[in-house]
Amino acid sequence: MNAPFPSPDQNSTKPPLQLLIAAPRGFCAGVDRAIEIVERAIEKYGAPVYVRHEIVHNKYVVDSLKAKGAVFVEELDEVPDGVPVVFSAHGVPKSVPAEAQKRELLYVDATCPLVSKVHRQAERQIEKGRHIIFVGHADHPEVIGTMGQVEPGQMTLVETVEDVAALEFGPEEQLAYLTQTTLSVDDTADIIAALEQRFPEVRGPKAEDICYATSNRQAAVKQIAPSADLVLVIGAPNSSNSLRLVEVAERLGTNARLIQRASEIEAEWLEGVGTLGLTAGASAPEKLVREVVERLGEWRTVEETTIAAAEENMVFKLPRQLLD
Ligand code: SF4
């Protein structure tokens, strides 16, 4: 639909905008838990509490926790002696808690239990004498953390079907694969199919490693994108699951944009847009979704519809050390 495009002050002539809001969207159970861990650690131990890496990939969340007394650093050697430190939801290589113990630092591990599950799977495969092919994105903290669960040379990273074609394992090699939790469901299925074709004996995890939150958010975008002229995804440029949501929409032929805050939306983006899809990555709070709806309302008469692809009621327990 080619709507005329009024300035924000022409309220009386605002043309309609159909807004399809994806559900589920936004915070997952692992992000909720990680944020609560930092908040409870500040309450229990007092500020400052150091956090190794952004607790979750969202600037709004990180800034809110900074205001409460969290200090974000990239490496443990930036944490002063005697100060508590929290490890982020993405997980850490084994060397990190080992170093914290050596320095007698009080640490709280906010690794998402679904990432920890992949860590345990990696250990089990190595115990069984298998080499692990890990499907993930190089340099993502979750990948660094998972690869750091095993010794160097015990795990090989593949990012694409082409990487699988280039693998040079002989028929005698015992192989297993695992995946990052926040990948594209469709791309990963292709990569696993390529692995199984090249190495028919390769062992995979019993249940999917891509987490429920990633799969559900992608499924919801698949439902809204075909009816939308544009999809907005609220998330950070370093948030893997948010980037995948943009890709899912684009593969369905719908323009999609990643935004961190409503203020980034430009009026021109809405030209010719009659139906807009909206979702948020697993580390983006609902407050940012409402902020976007309000901004859209400055230009258009917004008619919201929620399109639900799944229901979520997952809750993860907090570490015991924060419960007493
Ligand atoms: Fe855990 Fe999935 Fe959320 Fe990552 S996106 S924190 S793996 S639930």
CA 145 to chain centre: 14
Q: CA quadruple 249, 253, 254, 255: dihedral positive or negative?
A: positive
Mutation to probe ligand 1, out of 32, 87, 114, 146 (largest number of atoms < 8 A from CB) = 114
CA dist 269 and 212 (Å) reads 31
Strand order in the sheet with 107-109: 70-73, 49-52, 85-87, 107-109
Cβ atoms of residues 48 and 66 within 8 Å: no
Q: What is the CA radius of gyration of the chain?
A: 22
Residue 213 beta carbon below 6 angstroms from any ligand 1 atom: yes
| Residue 208 pLDDT class (50, 70, 90 cuts) | confident
Which ligand 1 atom sits closest to the C-alpha of 31? 6
Q: Give residue 118's region: left, alpha or beta (phi > 0; psi -120 to 50).
A: alpha
Average pLDDT over residues 117-143: 97
Q: Which three-class secondary structure state does DSSP give residue 20?
A: strand
Domains in the chain, CATH or no CATH each: 14-27+212-308 (3.40.1010.20), 29-113+316-322 (3.40.50.11270), 114-198 (3.40.1010.20)
What is the Å distance from ligand 1's center to 107 Cα? 21
Task: Please identify which of the residues 74, 78, 123, 142 carries the catalytic annotation.
Answer: 142
What is the Å distance from ligand 1's center to 142 Cα? 10
Per-residue pLDDT at 8: 52
Average pLDDT over residues 184-196: 96
Residue 89 beta carbon below 6 angstroms from any ligand 1 atom: yes
Give yes or no for residue 206 having a pLDDT over 90.
Answer: no
Helix (H) or strand (E) holding 105, with range, is none
What residues pair up with 155 in beta bridges, in sequence order?
A: 132
Region of poorest pLDDT, from 70-74, 305-309, 320-324: 320-324
pLDDT tens-digit profile of 131-150?
A: 999 999 999 999 999 999 99
Mutation to probe ligand 1, out of 56, 118, 214 (largest number of atoms < 8 A from CB) = 214
| Residue 59 pLDDT class (50, 70, 90 cuts) | very high
207: exposed, middle or buried (C-beta count within 10 Å: 0-12, 13-18, 19+)?
exposed
Cβ atoms of residues 251 and 206 within 8 Å: no
Residue 142 a catalytic site member? yes
Mutation to probe ligand 1, out of 181, 183, 243 (largest number of atoms < 8 A from CB) = 181
Which ligand 1 atom sits closest to the C-alpha of 89? 6
Residue 112 beta carbon below 6 angstroms from any ligand 1 atom: yes
pTM above 0.75, yes or no: yes
Tokens read off for 192: 């696993």
Residue 249 beta carbon below 6 angstroms from any ligand 1 atom: no
Q: For tokens 């939801």, name the residue.
A: 89
Q: Which residues contact 101 (CB under 8 A, 6 or more apart)?
A: none
Tell me the pairing of strands 16-23 and 301-308.
parallel
Query: At CB < 8 A and 24+ separation, what contacts does 242-247 make?
Result: 242/57, 242/280, 242/281, 242/282, 242/283, 242/284, 244/182, 244/183, 244/184, 244/214, 244/218, 245/217, 245/218, 245/221, 245/279, 245/281, 247/184
Cβ atoms of residues 217 and 235 within 8 Å: no
What is the Å distance from ligand 1's center to 212 Cα? 8
Q: Is the peptide bond before 80 cis (omega within 30 degrees of 0)?
A: no
Per-residue pLDDT at 13: 86
Q: For tokens 């074609």, name the residue.
A: 165
CA dist 279 and 22 (Å) reads 5
Residue 188 beta carbon below 6 angstroms from any ligand 1 atom: no
Give yes or no for residue 2 having a pLDDT over 50.
Answer: no
Per-residue pLDDT at 6: 52
| Mean pLDDT score of the chain | 95
